[in-house]
Chains A and B, each alone.
Chain A
Amino acid sequence: DGGITQSPKYLFRKEGQNVTLSCEQNLNHDAMYWYRQDPGQGLRLIYYSQIVNDFQKGDIAEGYSVSREKKESFPLTVTSAQKNPTAFYLCASTPSSGNTIYFGEGSWLTVV
């Protein structure tokens, strides 16, 4: 089945540790996105990539890093510089010729 796979679903990390969230899509979509969701804050864009080996900062990029070495993969690293990393993280993608943005199932990150 085509879709976006995020892993892990739940992740616990100690404060000060970097953590990488995986996002893989087999939809052959060109653009990929990372959003952060906090209660009452809606969906805030962290980073996005419209093509392999290129990505742009979103609205809340500080403390995060990404790479786009392959079309189907867009991992997100939450670094120790991110002050409040506990949140629900959503990966998404869009085709170059379409309008719809497709989301993965999300990853819950808890930093203790």
Chain B
Amino acid sequence: QQQVKQSPQSLIVQKGGISIINCAYENTAFDYFPWYQQFPGKGPALLIAIRPDVSEKKEGRFTISFNKSAKQFSLHIMDSQPGDSATYFCAARPGRDDKIIFGKGTRLHILP
């Protein structure tokens, strides 16, 4: 119940295309859903985050779509660029004082 299931494990997208990464969860107590971006040899960094009372959040080319009833959320990267090539982690937090739980990551490669 504490898991966050992320798919696909790897993704290849043409430059200019839309990259979509999906995550699913079971625990309805999760109250915060961030996405992290990690470049090779670096630590992950917060990309965008959403709370369950909002169905969508957009920041530039990055959008989180949240479906509370289906317990799913996804990251959409519009107009994908080679510089977006990285590993992306979805995550969820079961409570303010609780540790964040990460998905297993998606390696995204944008073809030039």
Question: Which residues of chain A have a CB within 8 Å of any CB of chain B?
Answer: 4, 31, 33, 40-43, 45, 48, 50, 58, 90, 92, 94, 99-106
Contact = CB atoms under 8 A, between A and B. Distances in A.
A43 B44 contact: yes
B16 to A, nearest CB: 28
B100 A105 contact: no
Contacts of A4: 43
B102 interface: yes
30 contacts: A4-B43, A33-B99, A40-B9, A40-B104, A40-B105, A41-B104, A42-B6, A42-B89, A42-B104, A43-B89, A43-B102, A45-B99, A48-B99, A50-B97, A58-B99, A90-B43, A94-B100, A99-B32, A99-B49, A100-B34, A100-B46, A100-B49, A101-B100, A103-B44, A103-B45, A104-B43, A105-B41, A105-B42, A105-B43, A106-B41
Contacts of A92: 43
Contacts of B97: 50
Interface of B: 6, 9, 32, 34, 41-46, 49, 89, 93, 97, 99-100, 102-105
Given A40-B9, A99-B93, 17 more contacts: A31-B99, A33-B99, A42-B89, A42-B103, A43-B44, A45-B99, A50-B97, A94-B100, A99-B34, A100-B46, A100-B49, A101-B100, A103-B43, A103-B44, A103-B45, A105-B42, A106-B42
Contacts of B105: 40, 42-43
Nearest to A105: B43
Most buried by A among B42, B46, B100: B100
A42 B34 contact: no
Main secondary structure of the interface of A (DSSP, over half): strand
B43 A106 contact: yes
A47 to B, nearest CB: 11
Nearest to A94: B100
A102 B97 CA distance: 16
A21 B41 CA distance: 16
Nearest to A99: B32
Nearest to A108: B41
